[in-house]
Structure 1
């Protein structure tokens, strides 16, 4: 286990997929997933098991799982470890683990460390101290500060703070995204859409259309999300349709019971022009209840990481839990696949 592998898992969605971990844990496979965390050095498995054990009040076992990861100094693991210790009542140890050392490395690492420390302060109700940090490193402390106000019973103050920042900032993307999340947590989905709709045709990083689609889909509002993919500007379509928009639309159609319609759209396009064509069709087939057809398509695509992920999900649905986990390549194999991909592209 090392920081480089852990960071690669996080930045490349590597290791055992989160949705597979969640599905296995929902079916009582805690020990199977914990074993994968230990043997594979898999962060998704570790994080999922820790969450499960903490929910059951088994903080000592949760700390045993996360301690080797936190010991590397990797900030996401440090954050989870500090949370376990806090809930276990080991406050001093949590603060010692989470508090950043003297500044070292690049500014991004330092900001991330302060963000994690800010979250610990929120958990302890130390909002005044957090406000001091927010004054010197606003973006790192932004979300913890907003969540702290929410948890203190002042969501209106949090909303007013964000809207004020949006009104006075030259680059308001951080604040708009935080406002979207805040309104989503309150179930104010139409207010959330209205707050950021002006970004939907932007051709730069400030576009919040996809986060809105994900927010709506997370709450079962797939048809509303589909509506937002229609009527986008020609310039936006030219830049984004093939890249991500149409694949999101097919996903939303599958979630809305329109899998056959989505498959027909895909099959009407030149095969070479659709990224992950076979795995997308396989997913839609599964959504349409044609599980055997979906599995057959995915097996033909192994050992690719994407096909393995999707196949594992279908195997879980059939109760074949250990086989599902075994189908997923280890981190080293996934990294090799990624290197080979970029070598071919280069």
Structure 2
């Protein structure tokens, strides 16, 4: 759906929704139609799914009606009964619809019975943004912020209210009371009356937004340095004090060689056009496992820059991605294909075939990456599997053959049948596979 709409094939997406029952095409097409003011067509696209009893479609229809100015119809369509009002999910969805229709007080009232839930408080703050209801929201959030503080005073960890302090500060700030927000959160941080690291980050970012860099620097000197120092360095960088930000982070690495400092500085140096310096900073973490591996963040930033990606992967300091060498093989093959060096790319995959469910599909993908779309399409047609047909769909769309692409894409029924044929994987009690891939 996303690919079809990105390439301007709205009518094809509408037809796929109507003729094939493709829900995501219906959802995306309806959104696109609403943007262009074609509310009637959006409703027509959604109606078969509503008739089938699909709850998401019913709410989507209500949203279309609301955007078309038919507010009462929209609200009547999904207005919750007593049972619905007991559901946090229903109340959140209906409150968003009410707020969108300008009936903000009704929306707030609907959420009040559920405001003890963290995600409902977040919804409350979001739907009242710019609606001149900040005082009411502050009244509702205040007891939960106090509960968080009281929990820490009593040596407890009531995570159910862990977000309330930062939400309170967010509303104070948008109400024009930033100094008060800074003072309140600052007192909480100083007295260790908070439950979540997010509260600490919120305070640091609040100081940064309002140029209180001296206070922010003081926050980075204590036990919370790992959390707050990156915020301070980012603030310095944003204020044009790039060399100072770099020095701050290099000093931190010298004192505490933590991966988080290296990750931040490496990414910042790369954005600043200093790839070799970025690699030198990150290299000690290139061979570490999973989340602490610092090669991956640099790679992800370069997927559309194959020459630089290959430079990174061929750098003499780059070590294998410990435990996940297949990623590095794929990255190298992808970079080579992006430079048009398809045979070299294919050779990498053929030398390391284990990770790939079907190396033939990978080869076709490399051909597509190199811009050889016709060759990629021919190979995928010959393979003919569900996976190959999904890839062929993308290639055909890129060739401007959207209707043909939809025709070759496996139906939902075919995809489900293919999944049913897959042998079940033995799993541990925590739900993870007992064998690779985990």
Contact 2:283 2:318 in 1 (8 A): no
Contact 1:111 1:137 in 2 (8 A): no
Q: Say if 1:144 and 1:280 are closer, same or farther in 2 by CA, change over 3 A.
A: farther
Output one character per residue of 1:136-166: Cα deviation in whole Å (capped at 9) or x when no partner: 5333334333222122221222111110110
Contact 1:312 1:328 in 2 (8 A): no
- 5+ long unaligned stretches in structure 2: 11-26, 33-54, 58-96, 101-106, 108-114, 149-156, 164-194, 428-432
Q: Where does 1:1-346 land on structure 2 (aligned, <5 Å)?
A: 20=2, 24-25=5-6, 32=28, 35=31, 39=56, 101=145, 102=148, 104-105=158-159, 110-112=196-198, 114-115=200-201, 118-119=204-205, 121-128=207-214, 130-131=216-217, 134=220, 135=222, 137-169=224-256, 171-202=257-288, 206-220=292-306, 221-228=308-315, 236=320, 239-241=323-325, 243-267=326-350, 274-275=356-357, 277-288=359-370, 289=372, 290-293=375-378, 295-296=380-381, 300-302=385-387, 308=390, 310=391, 313-319=394-400, 320=402, 323=406, 342-343=425-426, 345-346=433-434
> How far has the Cα of 1:314 moved from its partner?
3.2
Q: Say if 1:176 and 1:267 are closer, same or farther in 2 by CA, change over 3 A.
A: closer
Normalised by the size of structure 1, how large is the TM-score?
Answer: 0.57
Contact 1:278 1:297 in 2 (8 A): no
The structure with the larger Rg is 2
> How far has the Cα of 1:34 moved from its partner?
7.8
Distance in 2 (CA, whole Å) between partners of 1:147 and 1:129 is 15
Q: Say if 1:248 and 1:146 are closer, same or farther in 2 by CA, change over 3 A.
A: same
**SS state at 1:261 partner:** helix
Normalised by the size of structure 2, how large is the TM-score?
Answer: 0.47
Distance in 1 (CA, whole Å) between partners of 2:226 and 2:296 is 21
Q: Say if 1:32 and 1:179 are closer, same or farther in 2 by CA, change over 3 A.
A: same
> How far has the Cα of 1:246 moved from its partner?
1.1
Output one character per residue of 1:57-107: Cα deviation in whole Å (capped at 9) or x when no partner: xxxx9x96xxx9xx98569x969x97x95xx798969x9799995364399
Contact 1:119 1:144 in 2 (8 A): yes
Distance in 1 (CA, whole Å) between partners of 2:251 and 2:204 is 22
Distance in 2 (CA, whole Å) between partners of 1:300 and 1:163 is 51
Shifted more, 181-190 versus 96-105: the winner is: 96-105
Report the aligned-residue RMSD.
5.3
**SS state at 1:148 partner:** helix
Output one character per residue of 1:103-152: Cα deviation in whole Å (capped at 9) or x when no partner: 64399992245435644554444545544654553333343332221222
Distance in 2 (CA, whole Å) between partners of 1:110 and 1:231 is 37
Q: Say if 1:273 and 1:318 are closer, same or farther in 2 by CA, change over 3 A.
A: closer
Output one character per residue of 1:183-213: Cα deviation in whole Å (capped at 9) or x when no partner: 1221111221222234434568644223333
Contact 2:208 2:232 in 1 (8 A): yes
**SS state at 2:196 partner:** helix
Q: Say if 1:184 and 1:193 are closer, same or farther in 2 by CA, change over 3 A.
A: same
Distance in 1 (CA, whole Å) between partners of 2:265 and 2:207 is 21
- 5+ long unaligned stretches in structure 1: 1-15, 41-60
> How far has the Cα of 1:240 moved from its partner?
4.0
Contact 1:260 1:284 in 2 (8 A): no
Distance in 1 (CA, whole Å) between partners of 2:9 and 2:213 is 38
**SS state at 1:159 partner:** helix
More helix by share: 1
**SS state at 1:257 partner:** coil
